[in-house]
Amino acid sequence: KVNSIVPVGGLPSGANGGIIQVVSTTKTDTFSTSSSSMTDITGLSVTITPSSASSKILVLVHCTGNGDGGTRVNFRMMRGSTAIGIADANGNRVRTFGGIFAPNNDNTTETVSAVHLDSPATTSATTYKVQVSNMGSSTVYVNRSDGYTDHITHNSGTSSITVMEVTV
């Protein structure tokens, strides 16, 4: 009876809402960059092909990381080359969905999450991904702490991106 919960061919005429497909990935290895430009996080992207141009895509992002002392870590969601789910333009401020300030000698990871309902208006394969940038002069890390020696007080983490096609 699974198909009666979310029919494979979509919802019956006149019905509203329903999740047609889900694509997800979890990044378990680490990533780092010293770039002040937004940089794709390797392994933190998914591709979905909407069944209808009127469908919405619900994007759920969970990012874990840190940086060298005094670094500001910024995260941004992307649909292809278009930033989505970001703040309005406001002077020189970086437009992101969230960020981390990494104090000196921080041995734990911090987490930022975001949920965004996107309207890609296409039936073509569409890639969603997460980018990160360093707004200090040091290195930012994904899925690991700044202090990262093999010790019980230093931790690793995971990051993930999940997209769901939602009919409207």
Mean pLDDT of 9-17: 64
pLDDT band per the 50, 70, 90 thresholds, residue 31: very high
Cα separation, 117 vs 106, in Å, equals 33
Position with higher pLDDT, 51 vs 104: 51
For 21-37, what is the HEC assignment?
EEEEEEECCCEEECCCC
**Residue showing tokens 């010293």:** 34
pLDDT at 3 over 50: no
**What pLDDT does residue 104 have?**
65
Measured in residues, the chain has a length of 168
* Higher pLDDT among residues 1 and 105, named by residue: 105
Identify the pLDDT of residue 15: 64
Name the band, by pLDDT with cuts 50, 70 and 90, for residue 2.
Answer: very low
* Helices then strands, each counted (H, E), the chain: 1, 11
C-alpha separations of 99 from 38, 42, 47, 155, 164 in Å? 12, 18, 24, 19, 24
pLDDT of residue 63: 93
Q: What is the mean pLDDT of residues 26-32?
A: 95
